[in-house]
Structure 1
Amino acid sequence: MRVLVVQNYQNTGLGQVGRALEEAAAEIDLRQPYLDQILPNDDLDHDALVVLGGDQSALDDDTYPYLPALARLIKCFGDAGKAVLGICLGSQLVARGYGGENILGHPAEFGWHEVTGTVEAKSDPVLSAVPQQFPIFHWHSDTFSLPEGAVPLASSHMTRNQAFRIGRAVYGIQFHFEADTKLVDEWRRVFHDQIKNLDPDWLANYGTYLERDGAEADAAGLALARAWVALI
């Protein structure tokens, strides 16, 4: 099993998804196009695709000119029947690749907050692995409309479209289920200044939020990661 992983920003590791891929003995081909590494032109050398998050928008083509090609590559994998996972920015690029509208500049949704699964989630091979409601980590302001034919799978208080599926195994997931408490703590340190500007109260109350939601979010995130990897 060879999985293409596209990293779009510094310190945005695979987290829970990496653990699930390791359990499945997957070979990971990591590309960092934001550092000018080249993306493949097609899906032929890989069995699945993971597209991670980033600070840029899904329409930031002038600064990150690889984004249109990445959106096309996502659809190439999906059209070939291969498993695709887009997280945060990655989910927005899944939406773009399949004709959804990218909606920029909404109020930020940040920290551990509850997500609620849709009726369709109950029979979905990935979202059915978790309870209908669960806390999970968020960090985004942009969102998207669902592409034609997409199955809505989850929402939150602030964001209507938190997760969707296209076809058998193409998933766009806005929330950071890959970010277990270890990765969130790394982000807290590495991106301290950005978080301070965004939500200084979160930093001050980090321990309380961690104790309240961390373990449950970790369990949900790993269950989702393992369920998606099983589709490869």
Structure 2
Amino acid sequence: MTDPARKTAVAIRHVQFEDLGTFGPVLAEAGYDIRYCDVGVDDLAALDPLTPDLLIVLGAPVGVYETDIYPFLAVERDLIARRLASGRPLLGVCLGGQQIAATMGARVAPTGVKEIGFSPLTLSADGLKSPLRHLDGVQVLHWHGDAFEIPDGCTHLASTPLCPNQAFSRGKSLLAVQFHPEADASRIEQWLVGHAAELAGARIDINRLRDDAAQHGRALAAAASALLEEWLEGLN
């Protein structure tokens, strides 16, 4: 039986290993019961986006503009639009962030380069005052070839030399990031195998990526946990 005192978090997951990662234990500790809605397994259209206390849209190696071959993207944006209209808490990671941006009318397009690997963010003045401040100076995992522009009415939070728009927020209840703060570096092998074709095509040094995960994973996990803890506290 579900404890009525606990909150609910639903995460839309597109790829099995791109899950909540290190965010999972933080959510559980904060009193959330977590449920995944797995695209291609669960009926995405049957999901009520207004029911959970927190809705999270995770990453995937597809583009928001590929609705002709991945129709679920349009269904997902409809759910996001309804969630945005409600003002209830919404978190987007990588594709999730891009889907939120596109739903809000911002451009999402290929950058012409794959940003894959560990590198630090440059936080904006607003970013340094936001929960992302915990990531200042931390090597975070990047894994994308598309990027969003900042939607009207939203606050720009972070950038990198390859991607000027890495994160944005709207008030306290909406956060979208282009990078992967949630990635559990101890499970990097799943990413390396699952994205083997993309890595080969982008000529990424897999051994270096694996080594960087081992070197930076613990610091990223600690910083990302602090980020999420602070953001969740701001929802109360």
TM-score normalized with structure 1 length: 0.89
Alignment length, in residue pairs?
229
The amino acid across from 1:209 in the alignment is: D
Query: Are 1:223 and 2:229 an aligned pair?
Result: no
Match of residue 86 from structure 2 = 80
**What is the distance in 2 between the residues matched to 1:200 and 1:122?**
31
- Following TM superposition, by how much is the alpha carbon of 1:93 offset from its aligned partner in structure 2, in angstroms? 0.4
Tell me, yes or no, if the aligned pair for 1:117 and 1:133 is still in contact at 8 Å: no
Tell me, yes or no, if the aligned pair for 1:33 and 1:39 is still in contact at 8 Å: no
- Following TM superposition, by how much is the alpha carbon of 1:20 offset from its aligned partner in structure 2, in angstroms? 1.1
Residues 19 and 199 from structure 1, CA distance in 2 versus in 1: closer, same or farther, beyond 3 angstroms? farther
Gapped regions of structure 2 (runs ≥ 5)? 1-6
Match of residue 3 from structure 2 = none
The amino acid across from 1:178 in the alignment is: E
Identical-residue share of aligned pairs (%)? 28
The amino acid across from 2:119 in the alignment is: H
Comparing both structures, which one devotes a greater share of its residues to strand? 2
- Following TM superposition, by how much is the alpha carbon of 1:17 offset from its aligned partner in structure 2, in angstroms? 1.5
Match of residue 208 from structure 2 = 205
**What is the distance in 2 between the residues matched to 1:180 and 1:5?**
16
Which SS does the other structure have where 2:120 is aligned? strand
Q: Which portions of structure 1, spanning 4 or more consecutive aligned residues, are displaced by more than 4 angstroms?
A: none
- Deviation sequence 1:37-82 (CA, Å, 0-9, x none): 2334643321111000001101211122121231232232233221
Query: Are 1:139 and 2:143 an aligned pair?
Result: yes
The amino acid across from 2:186 in the alignment is: K
- Deviation sequence 1:8-61 (CA, Å, 0-9, x none): 223211101212112123122311223462334643321111000001101211
**What is the distance in 1 between the residues matched to 2:62 and 2:84?**
23
- Deviation sequence 1:159-186 (CA, Å, 0-9, x none): 0000000232111100000102123232
Which SS does the other structure have where 2:65 is aligned? coil
Tell me, yes or no, if the aligned pair for 2:23 and 2:182 is still in contact at 8 Å: yes
Gapped regions of structure 1 (runs ≥ 5)? none
